[in-house]
Amino acid sequence: MLSKIFSIFGAFFLNQGKLHTMNILVFLIIIGILVAGGFLVGFIWSVKSGQYDDMYSPSVRVLFDEMKPEKKKIRLSLKK
Amino acid sequence: MGVNCIHCGEDCGKHPVLLDDKPFCCHGCKTVYQILNTKEMGQYYRIRPMSGIRIEQTETGNKYAYLELEEIREKLLDFSDGGFSKVSLFIPGIHCASCIWLLENLNTLNPGIIQSAVNFPDKTVSITFKDEQISLRQLVELLASIHYIPEITLDKLDKKESQRSDRNVLLKIGIAAFSFMNVMLYNFPEYLPGGEELGGFFTRVFGWLSLLLSLPVVFYSASDYYLSAFKGLKHRMINIDLPITLGIFTLFFQSAYEIISGHGIGYMDSLTGLVFFLLIGKWYQGKTYQALSFERDYKSYFPVAVTTLVDDNEQTIPLSKLKKGHHILIRNQELIPADSRLVKGNANIDYSFVTGESLPVPKNMNDFIFAGGRQVGSTIELVVEKEVEQSYLTQLWNQDSNKQQSESGLNTLVNKVSESFTVAILFVAFSAGVYWLLNDSSLALFAFTSVLIIACPCALALTVPFTFGSTMRAFGRSGFYIKNSEVIENLQKIDTVVFDKTGTITLNRSLKARFVGEPLTRDELCMIKSLAASSGHPLSTAVKENIDCEGLLEVEDFQEIPAMGTSALICGKRVSMGSKKFITGKADESSGSTAVYVFIENRVAGYFQIENTYRDGLAEIVNRLQKKYELYLLSGDNASEKKNLSVIFGSGKNLFFNQSPSDKMGFVKKLKENARKVLMIGDGLNDAGALLESDVGLTIADDIYSFSPACNGIVEAGKFDRLYDFLDFSHLAMKVVKLSFAISFLYNIIGLFFAVQGTLSPIIAAILMPVSSVSVVAFATFSVHYLSTRKIS
């Protein structure tokens, strides 16, 4: 499967004639934009969901032990 | 300063909470410690139900009865649906990890609470609860019982929008950063020798991509700068944002033209980088103290609801429904919300916050009582004479609110500099354009735009945010919290300092009592202390606290006559204490001072002279300030302290007594008319007008989260003696700004050197812009940090 994909890519670069070695740049750019765009979307989501509103208490909260399971159940039922 | 909390290690401040002589910074820590002690040590934070918590039955009485009113409940709740409600409460007491732990485990205290989450910088807790199991009132009472008393005030009820602007800046920074990084990647070949050999195809692709990516930056991320520049122009002012806007637009259109016409790749990397750096500066400066409020009005001072009497039945109504003619009940320590007339009970009104009088004022039947006072003693009944909005105190606030316009900050140094800067740049740009038009017309437009591009005052615009932002943080670490960075600039212009007396240079609830008369025996002192301890009057408390004697004697036949004094049988002897008239029968002629006369068995033993206690280091700080500033003292109180204060202030000519709130405001106004730059330091509502009128108004607060009038900054009470250092540091901060300006001008001159010759290449722009910004930012931040560790911490 994987080798098939690679062979398609390889064919693309080899068949483009003169510019073939540089065409990898186009892919890099597309991948770069997609990856960076993914992080941007993640960042926008994190800001909008208020994760930057309070930068202190999460650092403390992580040290508290999990509360008993009953609480989790209630939380789940709330979401429904 | 004080001791450290035995539990969390934080500074306990002046009043540690004690348990078995161990100091705690708050009740939260104490509670957690108690749990720890009752259980095994290893079970810390793992105790299932909070069995160790003793919920103290504090006497809240009907204090929170108003929370059962539907209209108040509705305003307070974030949402309420299907038996669940969510509420966000402001709790100033939140200050350490134990607080977060306790408040987030509220559900173990009451099964009706489903979830609670603390927002630490805002000092709020949002709680989701089941309506049928716990009411809002019970919830608030529960919080109060574990010493986390929510602050519920009128102005919080009225406006509920959260701080979205902080999030917006973050979003803008994120988008600018994303575009900046990618565009820089596309422009990277241009930075290298031989980059032009990349070929037309890639130059075009990269160009179009950078044009695409710069669109959200230009039209979203940088939009605030256009708005600000436009606003400035509307006021016929050139502010720093105008050259920035010019620069951004020139960069954008020049680059867009180059890309679309296929000439080149443009300067989109410089453009996106510029916006990114500018926004970082804005974010850095904008991080202020979220939980502090500098913009309070009477609404946050007054209670949310009042108890009215309707046909002898007590009924709680929201303050907004209070009308003329209503009978209201005011209990001990409650505020009088509207101007009214006394009809029942012994009124003893503490006006210290409103007028600056340090002692409660007794009132007679049918006396007119101004709003804002606090009743001390038993419950009284009043008839409302004026509605809340029309009371004397409210009017004082309202007449001030329109004054705030004048401090919109258009006179700052940056704006002055950028005004001449913009004019100079436009001049250079046009001259370069004209010069090239005459010599080589193909370069004319390029030279013109190059000048505008390179002169875009990025470093200049970053100087102030970073210098003053760092200064604000340094101040904050030392207990001086300012509203925004403009205050620093105004601080260093100050040449006159005006003090309020009560609560500002004196300690709030602490009076000194000095005995005048033939020396008393130990037994007699003990008798006096025992009598004083039986009464709740502030003067009695002052006498009590100033007598050093172990153990109290039994008090029999205790009588307290309002506005006169107290009397009782102690060890079989009649002891009385009170006003001169009450004890000696002669009227008190000396209007200035306050004295408590003492009568023991058969003679008038003498009197206690009541004096204010001054803050620690007052004499020293006045002494230091006097060398550089002109000092005034305005007191709403009587002149009894004049002698003491004259010693501290050197002479009595700048001391003014019996000043009403509007007198104070007028005084500051007059100083300003004489071209003085006035710093007003106050604490109460009586200073509110003067605080607003002054160039910089600071309030002194024992608890920085408690109510203080609208002001430019809040000084922690314990840091009062550092005032001179704070003022001094503002001068240093200004010097740093000026030096940074010089550095950024240097970069601009280098850039202009290329620009006017028409040889500005993208690479020069791309190097010069970030290098100048980074070096200026680094210089500003590090020098302020270095200076602050030496000068104010």
Per-residue three-class SS string for B495-551: CEEEEECCCCCEEEEEEEEEEEECCCCHHHHHHHHHHHHCCCCHHHHHHHHCCCCCC
Q: pLDDT band at B588, cuts 50/70/90?
A: low
The pLDDT of residue B198: 65
For residue A71, is pLDDT > 50? Answer: no
Residue B680 near residue B687, CB atoms below 8 Å:
yes
Q: pLDDT band at B131, cuts 50/70/90?
A: confident
ipTM: 0.71
B499 and B511 within one domain:
no
B564 and B711 within one domain:
no
In a domain? residue B346: no
The distance of A39 to chain B (nearest Cα, Å) reads 9
In a domain? residue B457: no
Nearest chain B residue to A64, by CA: B45
Section B585-598 average pLDDT: 70
Angle, in degrees to the nearest 10, between helices B164-191 and A23-48: 170
For residue B83, is pLDDT > 70? Answer: yes
Q: pLDDT per residue over B448-471, tens digit each?
A: 888 888 877 777 788 888 888 888
Residue B310 β-bridge partners: B313
What end-to-end distance do the CA atoms of chain A give, in Å? Answer: 41
Q: pLDDT band at B13, cuts 50/70/90?
A: low
Domain end (from B158, B189, B212) = B158
In a domain? residue B28: yes
For residue B405, is pLDDT > 60? Answer: no
Q: Which residue segment(s) compose the domain that B493 sits in?
A: 473-506+615-731
The pLDDT of residue B293: 65
In a domain? residue B788: no
B95 and B198 within one domain:
no
B687 and B633 within one domain:
yes
In a domain? residue B416: no
Q: Does B101 touch chain A (CB under 8 A)?
A: yes
Contacts of A74 in chain B (CB under 8 A): 114-115
- The CATH number for B665's domain is 3.40.50.1000
B518 and B546 within one domain:
yes
More confident residue, B196 or B773: B773
Q: pLDDT per residue over B257-304, tens digit each?
A: 988 988 778 888 888 988 998 898 888 877 666 666 666 666 667 777
Out of B100, B121, B201, name the one closest to residue A60 (CB). B100
In a domain? residue B468: no
Biggest distance spanned by C-alpha atoms of chain B: 113
Out of A26, A53, A67, name the one closest to residue B119 (CB). A53
**Between chains, do B167 and A50 touch, taking CB under 8 Å as contact?**
yes
For residue B62, is pLDDT > 90? Answer: no
Q: Does B84 touch chain A (CB under 8 A)?
A: yes
- Give the DSSP letter string of A35-74: HHHHHHHHHHHHHHTTTTS-SSHHHHHTTSPPPPHHHHHH
Q: Which helix (H) or strand (E) holds B675?
A: none
The pLDDT of residue B290: 62
B80 and B21 within one domain:
no
Instruction: Please tell me what DSSP assigns to residue B327.
Output: E
Place of tokens 């002629």: B589
More confident residue, B626 or B376: B626
The pLDDT of residue B406: 41
B500 and B621 within one domain:
yes
The pLDDT of residue B179: 93
How many domains in chain B?
A: 5
B635 and B557 within one domain:
no
More confident residue, B594 or B369: B369
- The CATH number for B119's domain is 3.30.70.100
Q: pLDDT per residue over B138-179, tens digit each?
A: 888 888 777 787 877 766 665 555 456 678 889 999 999 999
Q: pLDDT per residue over B637-683, tens digit each?
A: 777 778 778 888 877 778 888 887 778 888 888 888 888 888 998 87
B723 and B634 within one domain:
yes
> In whole numbers, what is the pLDDT of chain B averaged over residues?
79
> For residue B158, which amino acid is it?
D
A→B contacts (Cβ < 8 Å), by residue, are 19, 22, 25-26, 29, 32-33, 36-37, 39-40, 43-44, 47-48, 50, 52-57, 60-61, 63-65, 67-68, 71, 74-75, 78
In a domain? residue B579: yes
Q: With a threshold of 0.90, does the pTM exceed it? A: no
Which positions ≥6 away from B180 have C-beta within 8 Å? B217, B269, B272, B273, B275, B276
Nearest chain B residue to A74, by CA: B114
pLDDT-wise least confident of B137-141, B419-423, B590-594: B590-594
Domain end (from B102, B137, B158) = B158
The pLDDT of residue B213: 92
The pLDDT of residue B251: 87
Domain end (from B54, B77, B92) = B54
Contacts of B178 in chain A (CB under 8 A): 36-37, 39-40
The pLDDT of residue B196: 62
Out of A54, A55, A78, name the one closest to residue B114 (CB). A78
B183 and B149 within one domain:
no
B489 and B622 within one domain:
yes
Section B694-719 average pLDDT: 80
Section B182-199 average pLDDT: 76
The distance of A9 to chain B (nearest Cα, Å) reads 20
B276 and B197 within one domain:
yes
For residue B49, is pLDDT > 70? Answer: no
Contacts of B202 in chain A (CB under 8 A): 22, 25
For residue B330, is pLDDT > 90? Answer: no
The pLDDT of residue B519: 80
In a domain? residue B375: no
